[in-house]
Amino acid sequence: YTSNDLNFIHFNDPKWSSMWYIHCGDKNNRCRSEMNILAAWQRGYTGKNVVVTILDDGIEKNHPDLSQNFDQLASYDVNGNDHDPTPRYDSSNENKHGTRCAGEVAAVANNSHCIVGIAFNARIGGIRMLDGDVTDVVEAKSLGIRPDYIDIYSASWGPEDDGKTVDGPGPLAKQAFEMGIKKGRKGLGSIFVWASGNGGRQGDHCSCDGYTNSIYTISVSSTTESGAKPWYLEVCSSTLATSYSSGEFYDRKIVTTDLRQRCTDGHTGTSVSAPMVAGVIALALEANPLITWRDVQHLLVKTSRPAHLKASDWKTNAAGHRVSHLYGFGLVDAEAMVVEAKKWRNVPPQHICTETSTYRTRYIRADQQLNATITTSGCADHPGQQVVYLEHVVVRVLISHSRRGDLQINLVSPAGTRSQLLAKRLFDNSNEGFRNWEFMTVHCWGEKVEGQWTLEVLDSPSQMRNPEVLGKLKEWSLIFHGTSEHPYHSHSSQHSRSRMLEIPSPGPSLERKALVLLPEEDEEEGEEEEEYSGPCHTECRDRSCDGPAADHCLNCIHFSLGNLKTGRTCVSHCPRGYFEDTEARRCRRCAKGCERCVGQGPGACRSCRRGLYLYGADGTCMESCPVGYYAEEIQRRCLKCHENCMRCLRDADRCTACSKGYSLAGMTCVPECADGTFFHLEEMKCSPCHHSCFTCTGPGKEECIHCAQDFLQQDWACVPVCSEGYYPGEAASLAQRMCRRCEENCLSCQGPGVTCSRCRDGYSLVGGSCIINATCNNADEVFCEMVKSNRLCEKKLFRQFCCKTCLIAG
Amino acid sequence: PSSRSLYTNHWAVRVRGGPQEAERLALKYGFNNLGQIGSLEDHYHFHHSKVVRRSTFSTRGPHSFIHMDPKVDWIQQQVVKSRVKR
């Protein structure tokens, strides 16, 4: 709750009094502005030096509320391939969306115009990319514009929210996200904020939207002023946080900037929620510009609160976080974000551990729940991949099913936290199943990874289906993202176990602290250690130890694994990724990427980790084999391609590119033949082309690539002279002449356009064009005047009918 | 892409050898090189003005030979993705 005393901050913007989500105007009641934006401003954070851009249909850069903060360098027009993100104006104001989103982030304060943005001193740009064909290239370009300059990319769009679409970023957009989080913001990682879907009424599920469902995006959902679920809201387990947006007609709406220098309080769906959170993140980045993309997500998890948001599924996970499928970790809290950001230290590096089910295909029987399990240690054997404390959990599934919408999928963590990865989708009749689709949950954030994970798949037929066709769970994997050490304990002074916010009102703030208490896991400081006198582990040498476990040994019988920093333990054999140094009785690490080795030097690696291939005499592990080699999957080695192949796939003689002097025929490299010949696969020799061809792919006259001298290309053949209805012309890009088609209905012409000299039967020659021998009705003087004044004769239909009639009529 | 895909006259191409090599390849097969795709190194955006702008099938022609060029690591004709504002 914040004070309703508005005297301490007041702006002259006309819509300021309607901005209930930033402050309250009701003097008689304490009211709910629980995003605590005023308090963040009072601490001095308004988004200065932070750059935000809106990926959308453009922004109106000369809008009085945006022009002062508009940033040309944070803007681009991908649709028009220039630097001006101004939207295309039309009578329906179709392209208002980006401008509306932009105002929510960075509308100028106190300029007597419209509204105040949440980060009203931030720089704001727009990337115009939705006003044209959207392709993977368009998305990848947009997500990768000036990543070292732009801090936050906010997007409020996605695949159809119709409850039957399963779609996400293509390969280039995925790479752009990955590149952004790895290299953007000079290595701190770009921040991508994404609006959760609008398909609530269609029973859509935001897990079927690969953008909000990505670990690289901060997926934002919406709530109404009263904390109710808006009608458009989609449930899902990848939603991280929530902000306000519009709801029913009686709910108060959000005001923002609109096209043509106006303001609006029109329905905003979920779209303004993302820029609101982008604005709050801008405040946090001003408080601490050195936080990484993952720090921002940790900050949101730590500081967002259930507040008064109504949901039946609020639960507390094993790490003490309250989380819901509607609102993620709850309403964003700007003040808490800036306070925490200010003292934040970067979380430890992200580790990724993948576990794949070893089961073969399992059938999904109607109305029976299929439970599949994976037990994991969190890749404890691979220090570089080990995950102990969770962030995102991705579940990749390969499911075939005759009606995708009948499936429900849940994931249960070892601590018992159940996330619904997918609910039934009534409108989804697709029989495509899920082909390596990646679901994602944040509901296990902070929990420990070790133990048994259960995937529950339930098929509840909603309409008649062939009962003999069963769905199949063919393959599934868990991809754990997180850290090997506690994300906050390593710098406990910065991350207090309870959020010590200086919030004036004692009651609610105490309640708030209680909600985010982390489980006590470390031993209390000052506790004295007692000398151990029990039995030692069997791997301990000389029965000397200070505890019962293998990591309590003072010396090892066989091998010691680990180091002083991570802790040492005794093992009988070294795990994968290590070799046994028998002299020193230590497990020593193999070279990078090597899974099995006999030493550290060149040539010591015997096999590589999954996804890597052993190459060359020096035994290097590589992600992909070099040119001239192919990746052999069984031994995971790079093997040489056939000598004629420059590149090959899966086998030495399945060529995809050829060495010099050879060319590709299917997947075989055959000798290149001289001009006028082609390689005859059956005879295995160069045979002559048809005499009309200069180069060809076969003996036929329609298999020419280039035509012989004195021949012209007509359609797919080479001809000595152009046929009736064609004229000889130059090809734009090929160094040979082509026969081009005359105008329609023309049998003979001199070139392109109205140059016809002979027409088909039923047509007459009029001014170089062939006009049908028919007249149109109503060709009176007035009508012909209209034809003339509207230049209808330039249009094909009229030229064929009324032009001739009008010409004859004079 | 599924059978309902709409193919455009734009391509994404991964080419080793830098922008000059990309430019050379584009010229060789009649494409217009629209430059690197965002921050993705070695990835270029090619456009072919002689190919129909939107088509329900992937069109073949002399430009298709680029798929077989040894300098090209990967190439993909771009399909229209239905994206809605929220």
Q: Which of A749, A750, A728 is nearest to A740 (CA)?
A: A728
Token digits of residue A449: 């990874």
List, as ranges, residues 487-526 from A with C-beta within 8 Å of B.
Answer: none
* Cβ within 8 Å, pair A170-B81: yes
Angle between helices A273-287 and A334-342 (to 10 degrees): 30
Q: Name the one residue in this structure whose structure tokens are 């720089």.
A: A123
CA-to-CA distance for A370 and A365, rounded, in angstroms? 8
Residue of B nearest to A95 (CA): B85
Choice among A13, A56, A71, A209 that is catalytic: A56
Is the model's pLDDT at A8 over the cut of 70?
no
Taking contacts as CB-CB distances below 8 angstroms, the residues of chain A near B51 are: none
Three-state DSSP state, A191? strand
How high is the pLDDT of residue A794?
67
A656: pLDDT strictly greater than 60: yes
Listing DSSP states for A625-638 in one string gives PPTTEEEETTTTEE
Max mean pLDDT among A246-250, A252-256, A590-594 falls in: A252-256
Q: Is A200 on the interface with B (CB under 8 A)?
A: no
| pLDDT score of A516 more than 60 | no
B49 CA: distance to closest CA in chain A (Å): 11
Q: Residues A758-795: pLDDT tens digits?
A: 998 888 887 788 877 766 666 666 667 776 777 766 66
Instruction: Flag whether pLDDT at A241 surpasses 90.
Output: yes
Beta bridge partners of B43: B14
Half-sphere exposure (Cβ direction) of A619: Cα atoms closer than 13 Å: 20
B60 at the A interface (CB within 8 A)?
A: no
Choice among A347-361, A472-486, A662-676 with the minimum mean pLDDT: A662-676
Whether residue A623 is predicted with pLDDT greater than 90 in this model: the reply is no
CA nearest to A152, candidates A282, A46, A338, A246: A282
Q: Is the pLDDT of residue A427 over 80?
A: yes
For the ranges A149-163, A257-271, A571-585, which has the lowest average pLDDT? A571-585
- Cβ of B45 under 8 Å from any chain A Cβ? yes
Note the pLDDT of residue A808.
63
At residue A547 the predicted structure's pLDDT band, cuts being 50, 70 and 90, is confident
Cα A378 vs. chain centroid, distance in angstroms?
Answer: 25
- Mean pLDDT over A600-624 rounds to 85
Class of residue A519 by CB neighbours under 10 A (exposed 0-12, middle 13-18, buried 19+): exposed
Residue A26: per-residue pLDDT: 56
pLDDT score for A489: 67
- Residues of A whose CB is below 8 A from B78: 135-137
Tell me, what DSSP letter sits at residue A367? T
Assigned token pair, A118:
């949440």
pLDDT computed for residue A467 by the predictor: 80
B83 and A158 within 8 Å at the Cβ level: the answer is yes
CA–CA dist A744, A751 (Å, integer): 13
Average pLDDT, stretch B10-35?
Answer: 95
Asked if A156's CB is within 8 angstroms of B40's CB, the reply is no
Task: Tell me if chain B has a CB within 8 Å of the CB of A145.
Answer: yes
* A179 close contact with B: CB closer than 8 A: yes
Q: How many residue pairs bridge chain A and chain B with CB atoms within 8 Å of each other?
A: 105
Reading the block at residue A192, the tokens are 């991508």
Q: Which two tokens stand for residue A186?
A: 């000079």
Distance (Å) from the alpha carbon of B41 to chain A's nearest alpha carbon: 10
| Percentage, residues of chain A above pLDDT 70 | 88
CB contact under 8 A, A137 and B10: yes
Largest CA distance in chain B: 43
Would the CB atoms of B12 and A137 count as touching at under 8 Å?
Answer: yes
Q: Determine the Cα–Cα distance for residues B31 and B72; give it in Å rounded to an integer.
A: 14
Close Cβ partners of B46 (under 8 Å, ≥ 6 residues apart): B10, B11, B12, B13, B26, B31, B32, B33, B34
Q: Do A156 and B85 touch (CB under 8 A)?
A: yes
Tokens at A564, concatenated: 């002083």
- Cα torsion A479, A482, A483, A484: sign: negative
Q: What is the pLDDT, as a whole number, of residue A776? A: 63
> Is residue A529 predicted with pLDDT exceeding 60?
no
For residue A502, pLDDT beyond 50 = no
First to last CA, chain A: 83
Which residue out of A733, A734, A736, A740 would a mutagenesis test of the B interface target, given it has the greatest number of B Cβ atoms within 10 Å? A733
The verdict on A159 touching B (C-beta cutoff 8 Å) is yes
In 3D space, the residue among A414, A373, A372, A421 whose CA is nearest the CA of residue A394 turns out to be A421
* B30 chain-A contacts, CB cut-off 8 A: 732-733
* A794 contacts A805 by C-beta, under 8 angstroms: no
Nearest by CB to residue B40, choosing from A144, A157, A664, is: A144
Using DSSP bridges, classify how beta strands A451-459 and A369-376 pair: parallel, antiparallel or unpaired: antiparallel
Q: Where are the alpha helices (DSSP H) in A675-789?
A: 781-789
Name the residue among A390, A391, A396, A426 with its Cα closest to residue A409: A396
How are beta strands A668-671 and A620-622 bridged, if at all? unpaired
- B86: nearest CB among A142, A145, A156: A156
CA angle A298, A304, A309 (to 5 degrees): 150
A775 versus A498: the higher-pLDDT residue is A775
Nearest CB neighbour to B40, from listed A160, A172, A271: A172
With contact defined as beta carbons under 8 Å apart, do A144 and A183 qualify?
no
Please indicate whether residue A63 is annotated as part of the active site. Answer: no
Across A699-720, average pLDDT: 88
The answer to whether residue A101 neighbours chain B at the CB level (below 8 Å) is no
**What pLDDT does residue A490 have?**
54
- Residue, of A667 and A201, whose pLDDT is higher: A201
**Of the partner residues A137, A161, A171, the one whose CB lies closest to the CB of residue B45:** A137
Q: Which helix (H) or strand (E) holds A7?
A: none
Strand segments (E) across A357-467: 362-364, 369-376, 389-400, 407-412, 418-422, 434-441, 451-459
Residue with tokens 């290097």: A620
* Selected catalytic residue, list A33, A57, A63, A97: A97
CB A456 within 8 A of CB A409: yes
Give the pLDDT confidence of A670-694 residue by residue, as tens digits. 888 888 998 887 777 889 999 999 9
Token look-up 């034809």 returns A787
SS3 for A336? Answer: helix
Q: Give which of B3, B51, B78, B86 to mutate to test A binding, by max A Cβ within 10 Å.
A: B86
What is the token pair recorded at A739? 């026969």
Q: Which entry of A214, A271, A273, A304 is annotated as an active-site residue?
A: A271
In the Cβ-directed half-sphere of B84, how many Cα atoms lie within 13 Å? 14
Report whether pLDDT(A69) > 90. Answer: yes
- For residue A503, pLDDT beyond 60: no
Which DSSP state fits A490? G
With a cut of 50, say whether residue A47 has pLDDT above it. yes
Question: Is B83 close to A140, i.e. CB distance below 8 A?
Answer: no
At residue A256, the pLDDT reads 97
Do B68 and A657 count as a contact with CB atoms less than 8 A apart? yes
Quote the tokens at residue A335: 């003040």
pLDDT tens-place string over residues A298-346: 999 999 999 999 999 999 999 999 999 999 999 999 999 999 999 999 9
| H/E segment holding residue A171 | helix A171-183
Nearest to B84 among A139, A160, A183 (CB): A160
The confidence band for A77, taking pLDDT boundaries of 50, 70 and 90, is: very high
Residues B85, A179: C-beta atoms closer than 8 Å: no
Q: A315, A489, A499, A498: which is closest to A415 by C-alpha?
A: A315
pLDDT 10s digits, A273-302: 999 999 999 999 999 999 999 999 999 999
B62 touches chain A (CB under 8 A): yes
Is the CB of A157 less than 8 angstroms away from the CB of B86? yes
To probe the interface with B, which of A135, A212, A232, A268 has the most B CB atoms within 10 Å?
A135
Residue A737 reports pLDDT greater than 80? yes
**CB distance A157–B45 less than 8 Å?**
no
| Smallest Cα distance from B30 to chain A, Å | 6
Report yes or no: B79 at the A interface, CB cutoff 8 Å.
yes
Consecutive H or E run containing A728 = strand A726-730
Cα A235 to Cα A268: distance, rounded to the nearest angstrom: 18
Q: pLDDT at residue A96 above 50?
A: yes
User: B44 vs chain A: nearest CA distance in angstroms?
Assistant: 9
Assess whether A10 carries a catalytic annotation: no
pLDDT greater than 50 at residue A512: no
Q: Give the three-class secondary structure for A407.
A: strand
pLDDT value, residue A504: 31
- Rounded CA separation A299/A278 (Å): 13
| 3-class DSSP assignment, residue A415 | coil
Give the pLDDT of residue A174. 98
Q: Answer yes or no: is pLDDT of A261 > 90.
A: yes
With an 8 Å Cβ cutoff, are A137 and B78 in contact? yes
Transcribe A773-795 into DSSP letters. Answer: S---TT-SHHHHHHHHHTTGGGS
Radius of gyration of chain A (CA): 34
Exposed e or buried b for every residue in A69-107, given b needs 16+ CB within 10 A?
bbbeebbbbbbeeeeebbbeeeeeeebbbbbbbbbbbbb
ipTM of the complex: 0.96
Evaluate if residue A196 carries a pLDDT over 80.
yes
Give the tens place of pLDDT for each residue, A160-193.
Answer: 999 999 999 999 999 999 999 999 999 999 999 9
CB of A730 within 8 A of CB of A722? Answer: no
Across all residues in chain A, what is the average pLDDT? 87
Percent of all residues in chain A with a pLDDT value above 90, rounded to a whole number: 60
Q: What was the pLDDT predicted at A81?
A: 92
A630 pairs with which residues across the strands?
Answer: A639
For this structure, is A67 an active site residue?
no
